[in-house]
Amino acid sequence: MTHQDLKKADDGRVLIFDTTLRDGEQSPGATMSHREKLEIASMLDEMGVDIIEAGFPIASEGDFAAVSEIARNTKNATICGLARANLKDIDRCWEAVKHANSPRIHTFIGTSPLHRAIPNLTQDEMAERIHETVTHARNLCENVQWSPMDATRTEWDFLKRTVEIAIRAGATTINIPDTVGYTAPAESAELIRRLIAEIEGAEDVIFATHCHNDLGMATANSLAAVDGGARQIECTINGLGERAGNTALEEVVMALRVRNDIMPYSTGVDTTKIMAISRRVATVSGFPVQFNKAIVGKNAFAHESGIHQDGMLKNAETFEIMRPADVGLAGTSLPLGKHSGRAALREKLRTLGFDVADNQLNDIFVRFKELADRKKEVFDEDIEALVQAQGAGEETIQLQHLRVVCGTEGPQTADMTLLIDGEQAHTETTGDGPVDAAFNALKALVSHDAKLQLYQVSAVTEGTDAQATVTVRLEEDGRIVTGQSADTDTVVASVRAYVSALNRLLVKRGRTGPGNDTKVISYRDVS
């Protein structure tokens, strides 16, 4: 695989290393279930991503199981696991990835003065640690990636020394992380260029770039690094990642495609699959895509200005540098109605990038019919919201019944029944408005100390019968989870989003599902 990578780089290929399932999932509140990780990995593989960083195997049993199963099931991509610079981490990582068609171990250590102070290592001690751990990883796996964390704030002489040690120890990819989004494009290009020029053995490895977006320059810094000689970009779908996020896969891939005249490099990514995976990652992570987000935002191909609309009608290229179809976006939005059948719904799902199994289609179709009875027209965005709600039946806590009473005279009331581990729990509560009353009912039925950090409502489509998409973010003891749901009833959508967040909190606490006997969230029937 290493020789293949080098050949691709020599041919002008830039390898795409996706870390949505590892670095992306580190976003506070972005926890994905085991099933969701497998689904995203499959989509990444199908779209042509070269390397999938599937997780941090030693972090938990759940992470190990997900990385291991992804490694066994992935057909084309190299499967990579992350490991700190110690033998136990590296052994656990190898156990998780070794069954992949093409496995990779990615090990790292913080090399900047600030990061060296954490393990309290001298430069010589750290150099010895790097040699020992990279050698150990290479004895297990032919494909080894090494990263000097916070490389852009590491002294040049020490960075050069550690990179040379890692190459001599057998690393095949050297990744240069801008861990805190500190660098700038010219500096990013020059650092890679200088490493390649001055490092002994540089011609035998691939240099990679891993940029964070703290100053809003992750994409620019990654592309500049490619100009400097890097041939692997580490990125995530939608730019998901801790703090301000990572380099967005869709941005670098489309930039290399659209501006191939000044950046004559290619990737193996099928760009027509971008919108589908963007929407799915937004759903499973609970992180909605901002409307004006480049490439995948709702407004990325929308034109409201009269001048823009006139230009678009005469020639789309006047205001669009790429076609919507290039990223898998349907050119038209043909609404479905209550008389539409399964075949029409399946075709609509296919055009939106969702390839669903028969049982999934049946579940979506039932909810589609219910929605069609309440709305005159069901638009593409409504269909996407239905897909988003899929899988609620597998959750530990489920909303079974909700009735709210609201109006100008308070207090407002909520009558709620939940299904928790298959048992009914019921209560009636009051509050300052219907949403507050409903949330008070949830707190009464599901005892927890989580604080509501975010409550956000947005309309999916236009009109008074539009579905509302609600995002809820909860925090408990440093654990942050996000839930999202959509419904034509804003209160129902709000409760379902809160319930989704509570179910994710169970996962964060180590609860894996209804079969686990440990009650980590208590509940009571207060009817």
What is d(CA 433, CA 427) in angstroms, rounded to the nearest whole number?
A: 17
Helices 380-388 and 342-351 meet at what angle, rounded to 10? 90
Is-contact 53 22, C-beta < 8 A? yes
**Nearest by Cα to 477 from 505, 501, 456, 499:** 505
Say which residues have a Cβ less than 8 Å from residue 4's Cβ, sequence separation at least 6.
Answer: none
Q: What angle do CA 298, 300, 302 make, to 5 degrees?
A: 80
303 is in an annotated binding site: no
Structure-block tokens of residue 83: 């490991």
SS3 state at 523? strand
212 is in an annotated binding site: yes
As separate numbers, helices (DSSP H) first and strands (DSSP E) second, the chain gives: 17, 16
What distance lies between CA 487 and its chain's CA centroid?
24
Single-letter amino acid code for the residue at 401: H
What is d(CA 432, CA 206) in angstroms, rounded to the nearest whole number?
A: 59
**What is the distance in angstroms between the CA of the first residue and the CA of the last residue of the chain?**
62
Pairing of strands 173-178, 206-211: parallel
What is d(CA 98, CA 95) in angstroms, rounded to the nearest whole number?
A: 6
Is-contact 207 159, C-beta < 8 A? no
51-70 exposure pattern, b = at least 16 Cβ within 10 A, e = fewer: bbbbbbbbbeebbbbbbbbb
**Nearest by Cα to 147 from 197, 119, 105:** 105
What distance lies between CA 45 and its chain's CA centroid?
15
**Nearest by Cα to 439 from 474, 390, 481:** 474
Binding-site residues from annotation for Mn(2+):
23, 210, 212, 246
Binding-site residues from annotation:
23, 210, 212, 246
